[in-house]
Chain A
Amino acid sequence: MCVGRRAPSRLAAAAAPIVSVLGALAAGAIVLAASGVNPLAAYGALVSEPFGSAFGWSETLVKAAPLVLTGLAVLLPARMRLWNIGAEGQLQCGAIAAAGVAVFTAAGRSPLAVPSILAAGMAAGAVWCLVPAVLRAVLAVNETITTLLMNYVALLLVDFLIYGPWQDPQGRGFPLSPVLPAPSRLPVLVPGTRIHLGVALALLAVPAVAAILTRTRWGFEIRVIGDNPDAARYAGMDLRRNIILVMAAAGALAGLAGAGEVSAVSGRLQQGLSPGYGYTGIIVAWLARLHPAATVLVAVLLGGLFLGGDALQISLHLPIAIVYMLQGLIFFFVLGGEQLARYGVCFRKRPAAAAEHRA
């Protein structure tokens, strides 16, 4: 089998993502059925929980907010052809810094607590991302691997803190930090729901990133470097500076997500703060085809999938890992579907002439 170039069909391009997601769900149903789960019951819970009620929608938005931010944290460097697979670790560092400022400094109890912890979270995420950024910019070290490896280090750092120096003395030995003081908790914006200030900030980050990319000189440089690094170099653009700036911005976005989660959702530093928002951010960015506005739509879909996964755990006692399995399948099918829509498929045999040379 091979793929051959053909005139791109607008219909195929529009239908491809929808058909791809349906294909992924069909493949997921086969895996579920093979492991003894009724796929219809599972998918029923997976859809009705997040999208079946007003409260469900509000909870979906709470899950979508960190996904928008991690999606943007992947998207921005990807526009420069850099792969930030470290949003998970940057998120965790944002949570660490936010919790640290909230619990252990006077700022955490002051009227300026909320801006302080958000700034701390963004700064920590940026710093965490600067390590791979500087290694890439100065020494040409592959950022894909280093950003990823630092996720493991960040998660161990959380463990170190909550099993060690930051463990709550009143926590009966559980690995939890003390609860964040009330002034450090992000306010709830919609009464009766958990929609908090972080959700609004995530939604504001979308036009902000879009504006940077389309309206500023910095964004122009990012796009030129992404399209044609050689041309950018000849035009006198500073690649190193741009790599470092873009990665720092990406880390700050993921760090903001971590600050929001620890302050508004979990209320303390603990394990399982993120069910993998950083990794899902990669899928968010890709499915959004690196367009900031589209991340909201994808994040709501995948946020709903996380919420549905929680419901599956409770109602059908299924592991949350099913969500990752489905996310992986969706990623596969979207990747394949894009290529099929772009090129179309033809089956052809290898020309005989090429085979003769070999004999």
Chain B
Amino acid sequence: MSPAAVAVLAAAVRAGTPVLFATLGEIFAERSGVLNLGVEGMMLVGALAGFVTTVRTGHPWLGLLAAAAAGAALSLVHAVLSISLRANQIASGLALTIFGTGLSASLGRSYIGVPAAGFQPFPLPGLGDIPILGPMLFRQDALVYLSYALVAAAWYALYRTRWGLELRAVGERPEAADAMGVDVARVRYGCVAIGGVLAGVGGAYLSTAYTSMWIENMTAGRGWIAVALVIFATWDPLRAVLGAYLFGGVNALQLYLQASGTGLPVYLLLMAPYVFTMVVLVIATRGTVRRRLGTPAALSLSYSRDGG
């Protein structure tokens, strides 16, 4: 394989990583029955919080913590509205995205053009020397490695722990889970918060690892793409990896085509990730409709014991 192809593959992993974090988080929220369309807003605020903290302290790991906290804080607004107050989940998520977009752009204005010392790539000893796979997967930055661990942890938590069983039950049959003694609201709050944390981390990846700068609206729809990839992934963490890296691949390829000067108009190349996501969504929808699998039965439905 040519060095250019390997470089594109490595770039695909990097471009897919922020979306992977956000997709994993949204899988938890939706598995518990809460649709959160605020991913875009949480990613933006996470990106800003991570960037500002990294600039101020010089420690990208502190930035990551700040981004996770910011994402969690925003997600709790959605949780209060959609779980406790039983407001419309789509409307509440949209409000969150509008709010997060405005908040991050308002507070971040003085940080445009400021440099930050973010996460740097380092090869994993041994693994980094494997042909093709080494440069693609194991010469990345710490957050990419963290994402590998998170995929495994998410899969294990969902399918191999009692808590995972409970949260899946809450998303499928909340009344049955309640009768079994599971605190539906508590599980949902926890899962929405996980979604917020991971969206914040995904945002911080963009501003402290993928690039080391803050730009208004720098997520450019990645939060929405994550929501679409959750459907493509049929709510499964392992398939989320495939979706995120496919998205990353399209992104890396269009960047490569821009840089190699093929004469294709830049703005048409930039459309590729969005068009790709729509195509993927169509394919995924056909699959889930045909096989009747995936969608948590209680998704976007609020729950209360008296049925109201």
Interface residues, chain A, CB within 8 Å of chain B? 1-5, 31, 35, 83, 85, 135, 139-142, 144-146, 148-150, 152-153, 156-157, 159-160, 163-164, 279, 282-283, 286, 318-319, 321-329, 331-332, 335-336, 338-340, 343, 350, 354-358
A153 and B106 form a contact (CB under 8 A): no
Asked if B152 is an interface residue, CB under 8 A from chain A, the answer is: no
A339 and B86 form a contact (CB under 8 A): yes
Query: Chain B contact residues: over half helix, strand or loop, or mixed?
Result: helix
Q: How far, in whole Å, are A124 and B216 apart by their CA atoms in the complex?
A: 29
A149 and B265 form a contact (CB under 8 A): no
B308 and A343 form a contact (CB under 8 A): yes
B268 and A146 form a contact (CB under 8 A): no
Q: A319-B106, A343-B308, A355-B181 are in contact. Are A163 and B267 (CB under 8 A)?
A: yes
Q: How far, in whole Å, are A160 and B101 apart by their CA atoms in the complex?
A: 24
Please name 22 pairs of A and B residues whose Cβ atoms are closer than 8 Å in the assembled complex, sorted by A.
A3-B84, A4-B308, A5-B308, A35-B106, A139-B286, A149-B278, A153-B275, A156-B270, A157-B267, A160-B268, A321-B104, A325-B99, A325-B102, A327-B98, A328-B100, A331-B94, A335-B81, A335-B87, A339-B87, A343-B85, A350-B183, A356-B181
B274 and A153 form a contact (CB under 8 A): yes
Nearest A residue to B38 via CB reads A328
Residue in A149, A354, A355 whose beta carbon sits within 8 Å of that of B221 in the complex: A149
Q: How far, in whole Å, are A328 and B103 apart by their CA atoms in the complex?
A: 9
Report B37-69 CB contacts with A as 1/0, cut-off 8 Å: 100010000000000000000000000000000
B99 and A153 form a contact (CB under 8 A): no
| CB of B93, distance to nearest CB on chain A (Å) | 9
Q: How far, in whole Å, are A319 and B231 apart by their CA atoms in the complex?
A: 36
Asked if B224 is an interface residue, CB under 8 A from chain A, the answer is: yes
Residue in A149, A286, A324 whose beta carbon sits within 8 Å of that of B99 in the complex: A324
Please name all residues of chain A whose beta carbon is closer than 8 Å to the beta carbon of B289 when the two chains form the complex.
139-140
B102 and A323 form a contact (CB under 8 A): yes
Residue in B180, B216, B267, B268 whose beta carbon sits within 8 Å of that of A321 in the complex: B216
Report B80-116 CB contacts with A as 1/0, cut-off 8 Å: 1100111110111011111111111111010000000
Residue in B37, B95, B180, B277 whose beta carbon sits within 8 Å of that of A149 in the complex: B277
Asked if B282 is an interface residue, CB under 8 A from chain A, the answer is: yes
A328 and B96 form a contact (CB under 8 A): yes
A159 and B267 form a contact (CB under 8 A): yes
Looking at chain B, what size class is its interface with the partner chain?
35 or more
Most chain B Cβ neighbours within 10 Å, of A149, A150, A325, A356: A149
Residue in B81, B106, B220, B270 whose beta carbon sits within 8 Å of that of A325 in the complex: B106
Q: How far, in whole Å, are A321 and B109 apart by their CA atoms in the complex?
A: 10
A319 and B304 form a contact (CB under 8 A): no
Residue in A149, A156, A328 whose beta carbon sits within 8 Å of that of B228 in the complex: A149
Please name all residues of chain B whose beta carbon is closer than 8 Å to the beta carbon of A35 when the two chains form the complex.
106-107
Please name all residues of chain A whose beta carbon is closer than 8 Å to the beta carbon of B285 when the two chains form the complex.
139-142
Asked if B117 is an interface residue, CB under 8 A from chain A, the answer is: no
Q: A144-B90, A325-B99, A343-B86 are in contact. Are A149 and B274 (CB under 8 A)?
A: yes
B98 and A324 form a contact (CB under 8 A): yes
| CB of A229, distance to nearest CB on chain B (Å) | 16
Interface residues, chain B, CB within 8 Å of chain A? 37, 41, 77, 80-81, 84-88, 90-92, 94-107, 109, 178-183, 185, 216, 220-221, 224-225, 227-228, 231, 265, 267-268, 270-271, 274-275, 277-278, 281-282, 285-286, 289, 304, 306, 308
B180 and A324 form a contact (CB under 8 A): no
Q: How far, in whole Å, are A358 and B183 apart by their CA atoms in the complex?
A: 10
Please name all residues of chain B whose beta carbon is closer than 8 Å to the beta carbon of A322 when the two chains form the complex.
102, 106
B267 and A149 form a contact (CB under 8 A): no
Please name all residues of chain B whose beta carbon is closer than 8 Å to the beta carbon of A83 when the two chains form the complex.
90
Nearest A residue to B88 via CB reads A335
| CB of B56, distance to nearest CB on chain A (Å) | 15
Please name all residues of chain B whose beta carbon is closer than 8 Å to the beta carbon of A160 when the two chains form the complex.
265, 267-268
B81 and A358 form a contact (CB under 8 A): no
Residue in A1, A142, A323, A350 whose beta carbon sits within 8 Å of that of B281 in the complex: A142
Please name all residues of chain B whose beta carbon is closer than 8 Å to the beta carbon of A336 when the two chains form the complex.
80-81, 85, 87
Please name all residues of chain A whose beta carbon is closer than 8 Å to the beta carbon of B227 when the two chains form the complex.
145
Please name all residues of chain B whose beta carbon is closer than 8 Å to the beta carbon of A331 when the two chains form the complex.
91, 94-95, 98-99
Residue in B77, B80, B271, B286 whose beta carbon sits within 8 Å of that of A156 in the complex: B271
Please name all residues of chain B whose beta carbon is closer than 8 Å to the beta carbon of A1 when the two chains form the complex.
84
| Supplied contacts A142-B228, A332-B96, 9 more A-B pairs, CB within 8 Å | A4-B306, A142-B281, A144-B37, A146-B281, A156-B271, A157-B267, A324-B105, A335-B88, A357-B179
Nearest B residue to A149 via CB reads B274
Please name all residues of chain A whose beta carbon is closer than 8 Å to the beta carbon of B91 when the two chains form the complex.
282, 286, 331, 335
| CB of B112, distance to nearest CB on chain A (Å) | 10
| CB of B303, distance to nearest CB on chain A (Å) | 11
Please name all residues of chain B whose beta carbon is closer than 8 Å to the beta carbon of A343 when the two chains form the complex.
85-86, 308
| CB of B94, distance to nearest CB on chain A (Å) | 6
Q: How far, in whole Å, are A339 and B107 apart by their CA atoms in the complex?
A: 30
B99 and A328 form a contact (CB under 8 A): yes
B98 and A328 form a contact (CB under 8 A): yes
Q: How far, in whole Å, are A323 and B99 apart by their CA atoms in the complex?
A: 9
Q: How far, in whole Å, are A142 and B280 apart by their CA atoms in the complex?
A: 12
B181 and A335 form a contact (CB under 8 A): no
Q: How far, in whole Å, are A254 and B134 apart by their CA atoms in the complex?
A: 50
Q: How far, in whole Å, are A329 and B106 apart by their CA atoms in the complex?
A: 14
B92 and A332 form a contact (CB under 8 A): yes
Q: How far, in whole Å, are A146 and B282 apart by their CA atoms in the complex?
A: 10
Q: How far, in whole Å, are A279 and B228 apart by their CA atoms in the complex?
A: 19
Please name all residues of chain B whose beta carbon is closer than 8 Å to the beta carbon of A146 when the two chains form the complex.
278, 281
Please name all residues of chain B whose beta carbon is closer than 8 Å to the beta carbon of A140 when the two chains form the complex.
285, 289
Please name all residues of chain B whose beta carbon is closer than 8 Å to the beta carbon of A286 when the two chains form the complex.
91
